[in-house]
Amino acid sequence: MQKSAMHWMFEPLRKYAVFGGRARRAEYWWFSLLVVLISIVAAFFDTMVTAPLGAPEPSDANPFGNAGLGVVSVLVSLAFLLPGLGASVRRLHDVDKSGWWVLIAFIPLIGGLILLFWFCTRGTQGPNKYGDDPLQSPQFFT
């Protein structure tokens, strides 16, 4: 039986700070979608709650007003930091790259594009030095 999208969305949360092993593309991308959706809800909540309380409105000096600076948005970002980093490292392991390659994201534009390419690439077929192929693993069908 194939696992559902909901399973893949929450799998990195079950492996909260696990940096070993391999992660399928489904696990990484469904979790990324979950983070984006929850972040949008948190930003909306922050805007609706803090705007009536006298938070700065958009102006020429501050065109974004209070965007992204709300307490709920910060808490959501902190909550997803380790699971997101773990999923990224495991995804790199799946394409047979060291988890340290995640630091390439600090190179503006080029680093993010390289990571995007690796995150979209199919993982190494069969076992590699980071573990068994998650597509051929018996746990995939349980």
The Cβ of residue 76 has, within 10 Å, a number of other Cβ atoms equal to: 19
**In whole angstroms, what is the distance from residue 94 CA to residue 37 CA?**
25
For 60-96, what is each residue's pLDDT tens digit? 555 555 554 678 888 999 999 999 999 999 999 999 9
DSSP conformation letters of 2-45: PPPHHHHHHHHHHTTT--SS---HHHHHHHHHHHHHHHHHHHHH
The Cβ of residue 116 has, within 10 Å, a number of other Cβ atoms equal to: 11
Q: Identify which has the larger pLDDT, 73 or 56.
A: 73
71-94 and 5-14 are packed helices; what angle lies between their axes, rounded to 10 degrees?
Answer: 100
For 39-54, what is each residue's pLDDT tens digit? 999 988 888 876 555 5
Asked whether the predicted pLDDT for residue 119 surpasses 90, the reply is: yes
